[in-house]
Chains A and B, each alone.
Chain A
Amino acid sequence: MAVSRLFGARVKRRDDPQLITGKATFTDDVTLPGVLYAAVVRSPHAHARITRIDASRARRHPGVRAVFTGRDLADRLAPMPCAWLVPGCELKVPRRPVLADDRVRHVGEGVAVVVAEDRYAARDAAELVAVSYEPLPAVINQEEATRAGAPRLHDDVPDNTAFTWTTTGGDARAAFAAADVVIHQRFTNQRLIPNAMEARAATAHANPATGELTVWVTSQNPHIHRFVLSIVLKMPEHKLRVIAPEVGGGFGSKIPVYPEDALVAFLARELGRPVKWTEDRRENYLATIHGRDHITDLEIAARSDGTLLALRGRTYANLGAYLSLAAPGIPTILHGLMLAGAYTISAVEYTVHGVVTNTTPVDAYRGAGRPEATYLVERAVDLVAAKTGLDPAEVRRRNFIPKEKFPYTVPAGITYDSGDYDVALARALAMVDYEAFRREQAAARKAGRYLGLGLSTYVEICGLGPSPVAGAVGFQGGLYGSATVRMAPTGKVEVMIGESPHGQGEETTFAQIVADRLGVPFEDVEIVSGDTARTPMGWGTYGSRTTVVGSGAVVTACDRLIEKGRQIAAHLLEASPDDVVFQDGRFSVRGSPDRSKSIQEITLQATLAWNLPAGVEPGMEATAFYDPPNFVYPFGAHACTVEVVPETGEVRLLRYVAVDDCGRVINPMIVDGQVHGGIVQGIAQALLEEAVYDRNGQLLTASMLDYAVPRAPQVPRMETDRTVTPSPHHPLGLKGIGETGTIASTAAVANAVMDALAPLGITHLDMPYTPRRVWHAIQQRGEVRP
Chain B
Amino acid sequence: MIPAAFDYAAPATLDEALRLLRRHRHAKVMAGGQSLLSLMKLRVASPSFIIDLRRIGRLAYVKEDKGAIAVGAMTTHAALAAAALVRRRLPALAQAAEAIGDLQVRNVGTIGGSLAHADPAADYPAVLLACDGVVVVRGPRGTRKVPAGQWFTGLFATALRSGEIVVEVQFPILPAGTRSAYVKMKHPASGFAVVGAAAVVRLGRDGRVADVRLAFTGAASHAFRARAAEEALRGQEPTEAAVRAAMARAPEGVDLLEDLVADAAYRAQLVRVYGARAVLAALG
Interface residues of A (CB under 8 A from B): 119-120, 123-124, 127, 280-282, 647-649, 688, 692, 700-701, 703-709, 714, 770-772, 775-776, 779
Report chain B residues within 8 Å CB of A701: 189, 260
Please name 13 further chain A to chain B contacts, defined as beta carbons within 8 Å, in addition to the given A708-B189, A772-B263, sorted by A numbering. A119-B2, A280-B1, A280-B2, A647-B269, A692-B260, A701-B189, A704-B190, A705-B190, A714-B188, A772-B261, A772-B266, A775-B266, A779-B265
Nearest CB in chain B: distance from A577 CB, A = 64
Complex alpha-carbon distance, A776 and B269, angstroms: 10
B5 engages A120 (CB within 8 Å): yes
Report chain B residues within 8 Å CB of A714: 188
| Residue B262 lies at the interface, judged by CB distance under 8 Å to chain A | yes
A282 engages B266 (CB within 8 Å): no
Report chain B residues within 8 Å CB of A692: 260
Nearest CB in chain B: distance from A388 CB, A = 35
Which of B2, B5, B261 contacts A770, CB < 8 Å? Answer: B261
Which of B2, B189, B266 contacts A123, CB < 8 Å? Answer: B2
Nearest CB in chain B: distance from A213 CB, A = 27
Complex alpha-carbon distance, A74 and B136, angstroms: 61
B189 engages A706 (CB within 8 Å): yes
Interface residues of B (CB under 8 A from A): 1-2, 4-5, 42-43, 185, 187-190, 260-263, 265-266, 269-270, 273
Nearest CB in chain A: distance from B270 CB, A = 7
Q: What are 9 A-to-B residue pairs whose CB atoms are below 8 Å? A: A127-B4, A648-B269, A648-B273, A688-B188, A705-B190, A706-B190, A706-B260, A708-B187, A776-B265
Report chain B residues within 8 Å CB of A119: 2
Report chain B residues within 8 Å CB of A771: 185, 266
Which of A123, A648, A701 is the most central at the interface, judged by chain B CB atoms within 10 Å of its CB? A648
B189 engages A709 (CB within 8 Å): yes
A776 engages B266 (CB within 8 Å): yes
Nearest CB in chain A: distance from B36 CB, A = 15
Report chain B residues within 8 Å CB of A127: 4, 43
A772 engages B262 (CB within 8 Å): yes
Complex alpha-carbon distance, A119 and B262, angstroms: 38
Q: Majority SS of interface residues in chain B?
A: loop
B5 engages A708 (CB within 8 Å): no
Given contacts A648-B270, A701-B260, contact A282 B42 (CB under 8 A): yes
Report chain B residues within 8 Å CB of A707: 189
Report chain B residues within 8 Å CB of A703: 42
B5 engages A704 (CB within 8 Å): no
Complex alpha-carbon distance, A124 and B5, angstroms: 8
Complex alpha-carbon distance, A566 and B262, angstroms: 71
B269 engages A775 (CB within 8 Å): yes
Complex alpha-carbon distance, A280 and B270, angstroms: 35
Report chain B residues within 8 Å CB of A708: 187-189
Nearest CB in chain B: distance from A616 CB, A = 60
Complex alpha-carbon distance, A124 and B265, angstroms: 43
Complex alpha-carbon distance, A281 and B2, angstroms: 11
B269 engages A704 (CB within 8 Å): no
Complex alpha-carbon distance, A647 and B263, angstroms: 15
B266 engages A700 (CB within 8 Å): no
A704 engages B189 (CB within 8 Å): yes
Closest to B2 in A: A123
Report chain A residues within 8 Å CB of B188: 688, 708, 714, 770
B1 engages A282 (CB within 8 Å): yes
Complex alpha-carbon distance, A120 and B187, angstroms: 32
Report chain B residues within 8 Å CB of A775: 266, 269
Complex alpha-carbon distance, A771 and B269, angstroms: 11
Closest to A701 in B: B260
Closest to A280 in B: B1
Nearest CB in chain A: distance from B184 CB, A = 12
B260 engages A700 (CB within 8 Å): yes
Complex alpha-carbon distance, A770 and B5, angstroms: 40
Complex alpha-carbon distance, A704 and B2, angstroms: 17
Complex alpha-carbon distance, A439 and B252, angstroms: 42
Complex alpha-carbon distance, A705 and B189, angstroms: 5
Report chain A residues within 8 Å CB of B262: 772
Report chain B residues within 8 Å CB of A123: 2
Report chain A residues within 8 Å CB of B189: 701, 704-709
Which of A124, A700, A771 is the most central at the interface, judged by chain B CB atoms within 10 Å of its CB? A771
Nearest CB in chain B: distance from A125 CB, A = 11
B260 engages A648 (CB within 8 Å): no
Complex alpha-carbon distance, A582 and B70, angstroms: 79
Which of A704, A705, A770 is the most central at the interface, judged by chain B CB atoms within 10 Å of its CB? A705
Complex alpha-carbon distance, A280 and B43, angstroms: 13
Nearest CB in chain A: distance from B31 CB, A = 20
A120 engages B2 (CB within 8 Å): yes
Complex alpha-carbon distance, A755 and B32, angstroms: 46
Report chain B residues within 8 Å CB of A688: 188
Complex alpha-carbon distance, A647 and B195, angstroms: 14
Closest to B4 in A: A124
Nearest CB in chain A: distance from B28 CB, A = 19
Report chain A residues within 8 Å CB of B185: 648, 771
